[in-house]
Structure 1
Amino acid sequence: MQIEVSTKNMSFLECFSSETRVNIIELLQQESLNIKQLSQRLDISSAIVTKHIQKLEHAGIVASENSTGIRGTQKICHLQLEQAVLQFKPRKQQELPANTLSIPIGQYSSFEVKPTCGLASSTQLIGVLDDPRYFADPGHVHASILWFGSGYVEYRIPNFLHSNQKLRSLEISLEICSEAPGYNENWPSDITFFLNEIPIGAWTSPGDFGTQRGVLSPDWWSSGNTQHGLLKVLTVSPSGSYLDGTKISDVTIEDLSVTFAKEISFRIASLESSPNCGGITLFGKHFGNYPQDIVVTMHEDK
């Protein structure tokens, strides 16, 4: 995770201003602990530990779950965040490498969605919830989060390669998860990716994540909504298609038939015919845990 050092991320940065919170992180690096165990090891009251845990949870650093024990319910805490990089001088979009571009999630070229569904910019909802017609609202280009129960959204990837260049591989990264009413951490969804109308593979999202607030979630965004997704990297190469380095199909870059000056279509779908039709939530740079939209990198042969 990359965190910009700015006032909008104070809830995250303030977590490290307390020696007690850093001590909690050190303890949870070793094992999961309940509130009472943390209280005993830190020699402070359970009430104080609970307040510190709530702050760490709000920042997405720690996650907890209730577990039934011999003496009633206990709150088990564990580290959720593995790594964070502080950006003191954030990279601007125009500073991306020449072969990399960022596509805002609201700038889809076509769609077909069914409820539950909706869109929101960084400041407000766009249109009316659970009404697919608003996906055609001109304001959809400002969306920084969108969700739907089944269907697809499709994007156009510009192709700026020169006539004497050949595409060697294509890489796409995006933050994504399932879509359940409200949210549901255990809500599997089979998400299929298409390039130039060719299905290059599917991934089953394990859930729709809302227990821990997204690092970038705006203050107005309700805590009862989906908060963040998982950052996935899709790669199509001469040897096949991969998701986070794991092969998901034999579709190669040659199979996509990418030609000079012809754009590439990229479709993200939750098919009703799939075993787990659990919808899709997409996160832009102002929502979730990762400050990015859909980032596309095209590698050409030298």
Structure 2
Amino acid sequence: MSQMQGNLKRIPATRVQETAKALSGDVRLRILEVLGKKPMSISQLMDELGVAQPTVSINVQILEQAGLLETAQGANREKICSRSCDTVLFELPMLPGEALDHLEEIQMPVGMYSDFRIQPPCGLLGKEGMIGCYDDPRSFYLPDRSDALMLWFSESGYVEYRFPNPVPPGVKLTALCLSAELCSEAVGFQHDWPSDITLSVNGVEIGTWTSPGDFGEPKGIITPSWWIGNTQYGLLTEWRIEETGSLLNGTRCSDACLDHLDLHFDRPITVRFEVKEDAVNKRGLNLMGAHFGNHAQAVKLTFIR
């Protein structure tokens, strides 16, 4: 083994995969190579490498996120890049789960549901307009649904998602969190329009959130400018399942706990948003994705260990 140079950076087991990915690109290795001489601006890296500015900027960002590169503002307000280390030491995991971060998050696009039962009025909103037709449940089978920004249905029904389980056998979870931006469904919108939205995980009912209404104003922060006169945003809602019970937006909502979920490494985790047939407030739901509403996230499942 060659003698290690100064400026050593230790990479913990939880960051090995991210750092290795950052080092796997040819352009990124070349950036680190030329920065071994001296710090450089983005334009200097463009000249040195012979690649376009967007390519340099994207790869610099990846290296910076991995902690292999640092940036600072230069005299002419141009970003100056420098290496954060000369030697990297990977600390490989020794026990099951050591390579996992404290938090593991999976975000599922709203259109990637695995099952549904809905009735009109209903619909799917895409990047350029409606996916399929308004109020036609058959549109929910179209392949374009994977690009949906938002979906909705009225009265009772459900949409169901299947998440992979990233936690290996033998690793103990302390909590499982599910969050999404949701609201009720009215024709157009109606702020005073409560709807009881129930979350179930692997067939276990976790808790019911009563959405106060269907929000059509003001404009959603990341809602497309061309979408007017209808639902604009929802409320970010979180269900948290712990070892002793479940919480809804921080308040205990049921006795459902992690042991009830029957989680297995080789089986999917099934998540269902449902307005039940016997709900007191049976007024459907709107479910927002990462590019609609006020929160830049899809349906997010978080594993806490």
TM-score (norm 2): 0.65
Residue number in structure 1 paired with 2:211: 205
Residue number in structure 2 paired with 1:235: 240
Render the CA deviation track for 1:8-42: whole Å, top value 9, x for unaligned: xxxxxxxxxxxxxxxxxxxxxxxxxxxxxxxxxxx
Give the Å deviation of 1:113: 0.5
Structure 1, 254-263 or 273-282: larger mean CA deviation = 254-263
Residue number in structure 2 paired with 1:154: 160
Structure 2 residues not aligned, in runs of 5+: 1-60, 67-99
Aligned letter for 2:236? L
8 Å contact kept, 2:126–2:150: yes
8 Å contact kept, 2:196–2:282: yes
Which of 137, 141, 158 is residue 136 of structure 1 equivalent to?
141
Residue number in structure 2 paired with 1:295: 300
RMSD: 2.1
Which of 156, 172, 177 is residue 171 of structure 1 equivalent to?
177
Distance 2:146 2:114 in 1: 10
Which of 257, 260, 266 is residue 255 of structure 1 equivalent to?
260
Residue number in structure 1 paired with 2:78: none
8 Å contact kept, 1:214–1:227: yes
DSSP-derived class of the 2:185 partner:
coil
Structure 1 residues not aligned, in runs of 5+: 1-89
Q: How does 1:64-213 map to 2 (within 5 A)?
A: 99-149=104-154, 150-213=156-219
Residue number in structure 1 paired with 2:274: 269
Render the CA deviation track for 1:52-105: whole Å, top value 9, x for unaligned: xxxxxxxxxxxxxxxxxxxxxxxxxxxxxxxxxxxxxx99xx999661111111
Give the Å deviation of 1:234: 1.1
Residue number in structure 2 paired with 1:219: 225
Give the Å deviation of 1:139: 0.9
DSSP-derived class of the 1:255 partner:
helix
Aligned letter for 1:294? V
Highest Rg: 1 or 2?
2
8 Å contact kept, 2:206–2:239: no
Aligned letter for 2:107? S
Q: How does 1:15-54 map to 2 (within 5 A)?
A: none
Give the Å deviation of 1:217: 1.1
Distance 1:105 1:288 in 2: 13
Instruction: Provide the aligned length of Structure 1 versus Structure 2.
Output: 209
Aligned letter for 2:158? Y
8 Å contact kept, 1:123–1:218: no
8 Å contact kept, 1:174–1:293: yes
Identity of aligned residues (%): 44
8 Å contact kept, 1:154–1:267: yes
DSSP-derived class of the 1:193 partner:
strand
TM-score (norm 1): 0.66
Residue number in structure 2 paired with 1:23: none
Give the Å deviation of 1:246: 0.5
DSSP-derived class of the 1:288 partner:
coil
Distance 1:168 1:122 in 2: 37
Distance 1:259 1:217 in 2: 37
